Chains A and B, each alone.
Chain A
Amino acid sequence: MDSVESLEFAIQVDKLNSWYGDFQALFDVDLEVKKGSVTSLIGPSGCGKSTLLRSINRINERLGSYTRISGTIRILDHDILDESVDLSQLRKRVGMVFQRPNPLPLSIRDNVLFAHRIHGSSKNLSKREEERILEDSLRTVLLWDDVKDRLGRDARGLSLEAQQKLCIARLIPLKPSVILMDEPTSALDPKGTEALEQMIWTLAGEYTILIVTHNMAQARRASTESAFMLLGKLVEKQNTGDLFLNPIHQQTADYIEGRYG
């Protein structure tokens, strides 16, 4: 445990290449994400940022043998591309929030407790324990007061903002080391976006967050470090302030100034 505590980086991606069939989506991507930081991945559509994100919890492998990958990804110094890695265990430690809120077709309560139940080591968790976890998780995402009176309702009836918060809340019981977010606010209105960004800040420190965003203002507001990707390559990564004020590469400067993307 000590060694994990002393680690500087939560995610280390090394020489990652990725293909969809014959199409190469990632070229020798190197990326190190500091533990407890909020790091944003920016870049134009199709630059590979989602592919990179979806490789880190290996959800991209759902597409079958059509996808190939080479290189290494280490989460807290564990090689997660190793054959011995159990995907269920990996995804317990690396949570993901999707572009469109995707609550399961269950009640709010069952959504929050879903992951907790499937990973539960002891089969019969006490009711009281579950209720405590439920409240803690919903409080963490600032949703408790809104939904405490309707925990039994279908989660799909919530507003999109609340749904997305719920999708984050259901990761909390697992205490994941890393939370991956794939444009988590793109389906939300400006008010919902602001609320979600604030919430993301409250999670920083405790969780390492890697967030893909189209929205550069969001990257500026809501991240400590930013990485810019273009055409499957990672162009540069800096502190968010530096990346936006003094980009090293001309491509980054062009993108930030809105010349393409």
Chain B
Amino acid sequence: MNSDKKVLVCQDMDVRDSAWYWDKFFQILMLVSGVSAIFLIISIFFFITKEGFSFFFEPFSFREFFLSSVWRPTSLSNPSYGILALVIGTASVTGFAMLLAVPFSLCAAIFISEFASGRVREVLKVLVELLAAIPSVVWGFIGLSIMNPLIIDLFDVPVGLGILNSGIILGLMAAPIMTTIAEDALKAVPDHYREAAEALGATKWQVTFRVVLPAAKNGLVAAILLGIGRGFGETMAVLMTSGHSINLPTSPFDSVRALTATIAAELGETAVGSDHYRALFTLGILLFLVTFVINLTADIVVKGNKRH
């Protein structure tokens, strides 16, 4: 009798019921999903590098590529691949957008997180998230059909498509994302800091500016960086609102062309493997690296925050 029982116990320990199999199944599923994300990123990078890399040997010239503003890839007699104007186009539009979006979204995040309460906060959060979901082609359309005539009227310029238009549209597009991330960063500041400061007689403003903002600093910087990354990578809205003409801008009303828009507009017209095709992929490598560095920096900044 006694030994029977022992055997039974040992058998019990061996049983693998359905829960065990489900557990294993989901473990493997999760592993595969996780690994596939890494695999995809690496393959994308590998692909654009493979397509564009040979450009670096021929007809690439460092001087021409980075320092010339003559982008004339389709010229039969004298093709030229200078991206300076494109880089400045992207940078000026993104810079202008950030000039508008950073203060705007930080203030919005502070209001939602620290000052609004109850229903107001909930409604605002939903609205901001809704704003983030508007497709970029719709933003581009707004830029073309509303901003363009408005700018022509207001500033008495011949064309309303340029840095100003594109910057405003891009700013409006980046603001919801930056607001959401910045608000998360503010919300992550433990409430007992606010309570401590309030118990010392700090007003709401003093609590926000002297305690909450410094404590959330890293998260806020990350929000701004991700907004910049968003601006850098945006294609459709910029293509539609920037005027898309190769130009070294001297005023906010000048038309410019962005890196992303150049790829979008030209890639379909090129012969696979041609110099032009490979030059566009080299632009892709550049964009990939820039956004990668921006996102990585944002990530490191946030991690630095958590180490405390």
Main secondary structure of the interface of A (DSSP, over half): helix
Nearest CB of B to A139, in Å: 20
- Asked if A118 and B210 sit within 8 Å, CB to CB, the answer is yes
Segment from A17-25, A83-91, A196-204, A211-219 that makes contact with B: A83-91
| CB within 8 Å of A: which B154-201 residues | 192-193, 195-201
B37 smallest CB distance to A (angstroms) = 34
State how many angstroms separate the Cβ of A145 from the closest Cβ of chain B.
25
State how many residues of chain A have any CB contact under 8 Å with chain B. 29
A62 engages B195 (CB within 8 Å):
yes
- The answer to whether A237 has its CB under 8 Å from any CB of chain B is no
Name the interface size band of chain B: 10 to 19
Whether A114 contacts B195 by the Cβ 8 Å rule is no
Q: Which of A95, A100, A154, A156 contacts B200 (CB 8 A)?
A: A95
- The 8 Å CB contact of A59, one of B199, B206, B308, is B199
Contact of A118 among B117, B118, B193, B200 (CB under 8 A): B200
Partner among B199, B206, B308 whose Cβ is within 8 Å of the Cβ of A105: B308
Is A98 a contact partner of B195 (Cβ separation < 8 A)? Answer: yes
Decide: B201 and A102 in contact? CB cutoff 8 A.
no
Contact across chains for B199 and A64 when beta carbons are under 8 A apart: no
In the complex, what residues of A have CB within 8 A of residue B118's CB?
Answer: 64
Closest residue of chain B to A116, judged by CB? B200
CB distance from B114 to the nearest CB of A (A): 13
Question: Once the chains bind, are A118 and B202 in contact (CB under 8 Å)?
Answer: yes
A248 interface contact, C-beta 8 A: no
Report the tally of A-B residue pairs with Cβ distances under 8 A.
66
CA distance A171 to B206 in the complex (A): 17
Residues of A within 8 A of B201 (CB): 87-92, 115, 118-119, 174
**B270 adjacent to chain A (CB < 8 Å):** no
B61 at the interface (CB under 8 A from A): no
Q: Tell me the minimal C-beta distance from A80 to chain B in angstroms.
A: 13
Check if A31 is an interface residue, CB within 8 A of chain B: no
Given contact pairs A102-B193, A105-B193, A156-B308, A88 touches B214 in the complex (Cβ within 8 A): no
A125 at the interface (CB under 8 A from B): no
| CB of A57 closer than 8 Å to a CB of B | yes
B215 CB–A CB distance under 8 Å? yes
**Which of B192, B200, B202 has most A Cβ within 10 Å?**
B200
B117 and A64 form a contact (CB under 8 A): yes
Contact of B211 with A by CB under 8 A: yes
What's the minimum C-beta distance from B188 to chain A, rounded to whole angstroms? 12
Listed from nearest, the 10 A-B pairs whose CB atoms lie closest are A91-B201, A115-B200, A102-B196, A92-B201, A96-B199, A88-B201, A105-B215, A102-B192, A118-B206, A118-B202
Residues of A within 8 A of B (CB): 57, 59, 62, 64, 87-92, 95-96, 98, 100, 102-106, 114-115, 118-119, 154, 156, 167, 170-171, 174
A–B Cβ pairs within 8 angstroms, 20 of them: A59-B198, A64-B117, A87-B201, A88-B201, A88-B202, A91-B199, A92-B200, A95-B200, A96-B199, A98-B196, A102-B195, A105-B193, A105-B215, A114-B202, A114-B210, A118-B206, A154-B308, A156-B308, A174-B200, A174-B201
Interface on B for A, CB 8 Å cutoff? 117-118, 192-193, 195-203, 206, 210-211, 214-215, 308
